[in-house]
Copies of this chain bind each other. A is one copy, B any other.
Amino acid sequence: MAILNVELGERSYPIVVDSGLLSRKDLFQQYVNANEVMVVTDETVAPLYLDNLLNTLSGFNVTCHVLPDGEEHKSLATLAELLDTMVAAPCSRETTLIALGGGVVGDIAGFAASCYQRGINYLQVPTTLLAQVDSAVGGKTAVNHVRGKNLIGAFYQPRCVIADTDTLSTLDSRQLSAGIAEVVKYGCIRDAELFTWLEQNIDKLGQCDRDTVSHTIIECCRNKAELVATDEVEQGDRALLNLGHTFAHAIETVTGYGTWLHGEAVSAGISLAADMSCRLGWLEQKDVERIRALLRRANLPVCAPAEMTVADFMRNMARDKKVVAGRIRLVLLKAIGEATLVSDYPDDVLQTVLESAATY
């Protein structure tokens, strides 16, 4: 069992990674307050793992809420339905919420935990690779607005992240690939060693090889925990975790939430960011190709959708959370393993990148 800590003073918490954790009653007991538990999951995960978790939670007073599956349901309306269930139960302020599922479940349930009675205890129990390596860690919670991704939410840290690697065995290959996009991201932004290791091990990761997956999750969580510890509410370096995400959010919004998986859009976004970094003279073309080759080997897209215009990108990127003084700030690469936040790029370079975004 690997345990990493997110160091945030009195809000510090562990990330526990191992197989079989869903059955570890001792582990859940340690982080559940009082006797009341609210389990939030979705239609896909419920038939697979809900019974297992409920069995582990026997003896607790448990209420369940099953969300519809998919990014298109990550909305205020879906949040309101979850809150209705919590009020009807009624859940008290002592309730511990458990988010069992992928990134969408974690984001909605985490936001619900942050605002129900102005904040209750919650645990992230991620069941997808993307959630285990990235979204379940760090306390970012949100729902989408129809005009922009993750525009409504809170920074609200869980009490613990419990990543049971057994749950990845039921992940379909498209979802697994989506998670790998975020893994490649960590390599690109601050861990050249991880990137090189991925070049050697991506096929085994794509086959969900047990040791490969464990190493991947631990290394990604270590990177994320370090960034979150130094910058909880994204005033600085934490923004580097958004490599590719400004482009990705535009793709997800324009194509309709759920059409592209978040990780797929991030993959295309990383490819665009690499291209722009190269055009600015920072990243060598061969490194752009290394990044794209790695993404392609994971069956991930490296181009934006052909139907997206430059205007589509610009309109949606203008609503991104990283806009400052009217400028879209972008995470770009100085090298593989070194990212930087840039707002003083020439506009025509961004224009050129967006014009050729569908052609890589």
Contact = CB atoms under 8 A, between A and B. Distances in A.
Interface of A: 34-35, 76, 80, 83-84, 87-88, 90, 92-94, 111, 114-119, 140-142, 145, 147-148, 150-155, 233, 318-319, 321-326
Contacts of A35: 325
A300 to B, nearest CB: 27
Nearest to A76: B80
A319 B152 contact: no
Nearest to A61: B326
24 contacts: A34-B325, A76-B80, A76-B83, A83-B145, A84-B145, A87-B147, A87-B148, A90-B148, A90-B318, A90-B319, A92-B324, A92-B326, A93-B323, A94-B325, A111-B115, A114-B154, A117-B151, A117-B321, A118-B142, A118-B150, A118-B154, A118-B233, A118-B321, A119-B155
A61 to B, nearest CB: 10
Given A80-B76, A147-B87, A153 B94 contact: no
A296 to B, nearest CB: 33
A162 B300 CA distance: 52
Contacts of A145: 83-84, 87
A157 to B, nearest CB: 13
Contacts of A140: 118
Contacts of A117: 151, 321
Contact of A119 (B34, B93, B154): B154
A356 B152 CA distance: 45
Lowest 4 CB-CB distances: which A-B pairs, in order?
A92-B323, A90-B319, A117-B321, A118-B153
B233 A147 contact: no
Nearest to A35: B325
Contacts of A319: 87, 90
A152 B116 contact: yes
A145 B90 CA distance: 12
A83 B142 CA distance: 13
Nearest to A75: B80
Given A92-B323, A118-B153, A118-B233, 9 more contacts: A35-B325, A76-B76, A87-B147, A94-B324, A94-B325, A115-B154, A118-B150, A118-B155, A119-B233
